[in-house]
Structure 1
Amino acid sequence: MTTQFGGLLREWRETRKLSQLDLGLSANVSARHISFLETGRARPSRAMVLNLGTVLDVPRGSRNALLHAAGFAPSYRARGLDDAEMAPVTAALDWMLERHMPYPAFALDRHWTIVQANEMAQMLLAQMRLGEGANLIEALVEGSALSANIENWPEVAQHLAQRLHSEAAHLGGDAYLEKMAAKLTAQAGCATPDLMNGSQAIVPTRYRLGETTLSLFSTMSQFSNAEDIALADWRIEHLFPADEATRQVLETLAAGS
């Protein structure tokens, strides 16, 4: 009879589109052993659970679930930014955000809540009545001033929907992200496929800021060796000007702040 652990293992293996042989080769065990683990004919050691979690790229919180299902205590926990162990992380985060000035940058959690933002990001977000602690994706899908001031919203909405689908898939499924992706797809409308023809190297987001339009694109950073549950899901978004006019506006705003 399939154990709770075996069922979870099979779900993650299928989510990652691996056969039992593929997973066995990557985890340095036989496909037969993987089969026995999934059906409950064999019980994993703690080391085996952690090994399989690593091979399957299971998020830290879900690795705890695998450990619990196999009868072991959790290995990962979530710490606050004020935790003493997080001091080096906090310093690194501050450094990245501050050094990105005069351009906007902010850190987001797995559900797009703004964890921290630099001065320029705070300035721009304040124009939309948003700030640290706000949920960025909800602000976008709920018809806020943010989405209303994005000139190429259908195009941006479709790209964001694809990104949310990818993030949900990495997490092994996330109902919240899938719901937000569906809302974004609906808002994008039927004209979006014509816009996404691959003719541009990047698709910038064009924000209206008063009488000015800021054209921005983003890059993303993560803590690659994070073992903390929350930290492993954080993303640091660095926004860059997509044209010279935007660069000049941001530099002028920063000089006057």
Structure 2
Amino acid sequence: MTTQFGNLLKEWRQTRKLSQLDLGLSADVSARHISFLETGRARPSRAMVLNLSAVLEAPRDTRNAMLHAAGFAPSYRARGLDEADMIPIKDALEWMLERHMPYPAMVLDRHWKVIRANATADLLLTQMGLGEGTSLIEALVDDTGLPAIIENWPEVAQHMVQRLRAESAHIGGDAYLDAMAARLSEQVHGATLDLSSGSKAVVPTRYRLGELTLSFFSTMSQFSTAEDIALADWRIEHLFPADEQTRELLVRLAAGGS
């Protein structure tokens, strides 16, 4: 007879495309024991639940769910940035955002909601009708939002579809990310794409703001040892100018020019 924990374990093992033998080897237990855990013939210890969920790279909230299913208290929680043990994290975020000036940088959660933004990012977001607390994904799937001001929208959207699907797959599936990827895919279905894009080092995003066009590419940073539920999902996106015109404009803005 299977158990809730056994079902979760099997579901995540299959999500990661691992056999019972593969999982057992990585977790340093026998495939037979993995089978017994999945069928309910054996009960896991708390340490075993944490070991297996770590090997499966399950998100922190899923690890809590696996612990609960096995009869144990959760190990992970979401903290506010003003809590004492989060102060160094808050300081690190502010340091990264401010040191990236005059270029835009922002902190995003799993669903691309803007948690924090530096002054340049805040200025650009305001010009786009966005700000802290809003979701960039929602703006991407809104025809009157970002698609209306991104000059190379079809190729950018194609990359965003791939990114959303990859992020969903990494966390074992996310219905929201999958739905947004499907909506974006429908928007660009049949669109004419730049077939030479594969020859580029990166595909920049070109924003048209009034008479100006700003071109950016971005990099992502994460906290590699995060145990907090929310923090484990946060990414810091650093935008860099993809051409000299954009760089010069950002430098002038930072200097108080026009």
TM-score (norm 1): 0.97
Which letter maps to 1:227? E
Q: Is the deviation greater in 45-54 or in 167-176?
A: 167-176
- Equivalent residues in 2 for 1:64-79, closer than 5 Å: 64-79=64-79
- Structure 1 contact 155–196 (Cα < 8 Å) conserved: no
Output one character per residue of 1:174-200: Cα deviation in whole Å (capped at 9) or x when no partner. 111111001111112223565475111
- Structure 2, unmatched stretches of 5+, are none
Per the alignment, residue 19 of structure 1 pairs with 19
Deviation at 1:125, TM superposition (A): 0.4
- CA distance change for structure 1 residues 153 and 193 in 2, over 3 Å: closer, same or farther? closer
User: In percent, how many aligned pairs have the same letter?
Assistant: 74
Q: Is the 8 A contact 1:155 1:195 kept in 2?
A: no
Provide the C-alpha distance between the structure 2 equivalents of 1:60 and 1:37, rounded to a whole number of angstroms: 20
- Equivalent position of 1:116 in the other structure: 116
Q: Tell whether the 8 Å contact from 1:104 to 1:120 is kept in structure 2 after alignment.
A: yes
Counterpart of 1:18, as a letter, is L
Mapped to 2, the partners of 1:61 and 1:150 lie a distance apart of 35
Query: Structure 1 residues 20, 242: CA separation in 2 closer, same or farther (over 3 Å shift)?
Result: same
State yes or no: 1:214 paired with 2:214. Answer: yes
CA displacement 1:23-49 (0-9 Å, x = unmatched): 000000011110111011110000000
After superposition, where does 1:1-257 map in structure 2 within 5 Å? 1-191=1-191, 195=195, 197-256=197-256
Runs (4+) of structure 1 exceeding 4 A deviation are: none
Q: One-letter code of the match for 2:170?
A: H
Amino acid at match of 2:153: W
**Under a length normalisation based on structure 2, what TM-score does the superposition of the two structures give?**
0.97
* 1:82-113 Cα shifts (integer Å, max 9, x gaps): 22221000000000000000000000001111
SS at match of 2:255: helix
- Cα distance, 1:252 vs. partner? 1.0
* CA displacement, residues 152-192 of structure 1 (integer Å, 9 cap, x when unaligned): 11111111111111111111111111110011111122235
What amino acid sits opposite 1:52 in the alignment?
Answer: L
Output the CA distance in 2 between the equivalents of 1:143 and 1:81. Answer: 34
The answer as to whether partners of 1:104 and 1:239 remain within 8 angstroms in 2 is yes
Aligned residues: 257
- Aligned CA distance change for structure 1 residues 194 and 240 (closer, same or farther; 3 Å): closer
Q: 1:7 to 1:32 in 2, by over 3 A?
A: same
Please list the CA deviations of residues 62-89 of structure 1 after superposition, one character each: whole Å capped at 9, or x if unmatched: 0000000000000000011122221000
Q: Which runs of 5 or more structure 1 residues have no equivalent in the other structure?
A: none
Measured in 1, the distance between the counterparts of 2:20 and 2:194 equals 41
Structure 2 Cα separation of the partners of residues 5 and 239 of structure 1: 42
Shift of 1:139: 1.1
